[in-house]
A and B are shown apart, each in its own frame.
Chain A
Amino acid sequence: MTTAVGRTGSDSEAFWADVEAGGLPLRRCRHCTRTFVLPLPSCPYCATEDPEVIQAKGTGSVYSWVVVHHAFDPAFDGDVPYVVAAVQLDEGARVYGRLEGIPFDAIAPDLTVERVAPAGDGRPPLVFRPLARTPA
């Protein structure tokens, strides 16, 4: 069995399988209620064991971002230039995702974004776009 690009098929497999199915799983501490993405056995803020798994809404804001012009892994040569953003989800956890649907020079800190439904077929598994505004 081969794994998708960049995945080793270990601890992250459940996360990406859920993401490819349209979910966005987070861990939430049963004590301090903070959330995080990494599949740790305990809370990285208070060490309480056995965090629960919840689903994020998929909305948040851009904390930082990089415009990749040179792919160091040839698997991504065809994608450049592309944006990887650190997105602060509304639940509190930070997650990395691609950011699309906005000119590079229009990206700004705190830009509100929403998750795009996964398209499969070799597209990046987790993509955000600027949050669609509701007409006034």
Chain B
Amino acid sequence: MTAQAASAAGDAARPPESAEVIKADALEDLLDGLGRRGYTVVGPTVADGAIVYDELTSVADLPRGWTDEQSPGRYRLARREDEAWFGYAVGPHSWKRYLLPPTHTAWSAERTADGGMRILDDPSPVPRYAFVGVRSCELAAIAVQDRVFIRGPFADTVYARRRDEVLLVAVNCGDPAGTCFCASMGTGPRATTGFDLALTELLDDEGHRFVVEVGTAAGRALLDDVTHRAAEQRDVAAAVDITDRAAQRMGRQMDVTGIRELLYDNLEHPRWDDVASRCLACGNCTLACPTCFCTSVTDVTDLAGERIERQRAWDSCFTLDFTYTAGAPVRGTTRSRYRQWMTHKLATWIDQFGSSGCVGCGRCITWCPVGIDITEEVAAIRGTEPDESGENET
């Protein structure tokens, strides 16, 4: 176990300072409370064979009794033995689609009567979202994107305005997937910061209920609107046990000791050729990753040229066009593009934003069509991949 994993486990073991309990039925009241406050409630629901994020109208939309089985290049829904609402890990979607929509208009302009042009104000109201079911790794991913989009030299207004309005209801993980490694990255499985409310779902002899921790005044007000009681010692112990056991059942792990130097020292490692021979440069990993933030712009005009829109869309460092400079792409090979992606996530991100760009959610592993596994690639570069060299076998 790495130092970071140990400290994450330490955090998870620390009992919440104060907690309350709501019965499972009260979750509906909580969602109603969000609706009354003008929030559009977004949360997990089953669609097209996966648990995705979409607008929720009631708890009936939640993936009750479903879980997800994940491994490199593979995702499958499966029935649980219980009726848990949040008994899965994470799906293909991440909350970034609500904070910086996959395509949006950066600005628009129209021709004026005198033949000039005028830049138009953005009239669209800012949506007020409440995210329900945010995982600990996802809170960490939002914090990472906050550093990119809000704390840098220029704030991204599309992101910042949405982010400012968001209310976050976290739900702790009890059932990590085969591709999860948040414990290695120090980002989970217990949510310790960055939420308005954090819930732990319990289904034991004492019934279906949630242990609730309050993170902000907004969370407090929301909780006060629904029937709740103070948590007893055994409720808290049961909740902590859920995440403690989850931490022990991570499907993967990554040794992040000195990872920045490891990658900086290995920019010409033969493993980059190896991974390039497998990678399709499809960009699925970047789309699924909750921290990847790159975008491109294109201009769209109406036929008469009366109106212009500059449209902004998610982009991927895996595309050939991404680095076109002085007549040629800087990163012309898949080798260089995979190296850029992984080195950015795990190393240069630290220089740029003061934290890792990877929160260990495992999406890039699950949703890679050929099952490329970032934890395995790191292990290979470290020279400790078990089935590659006998001497290092553990």
Partners in one complex: no
Interface residues of A (CB under 8 A from B): none
Interface residues of B (CB under 8 A from A): none
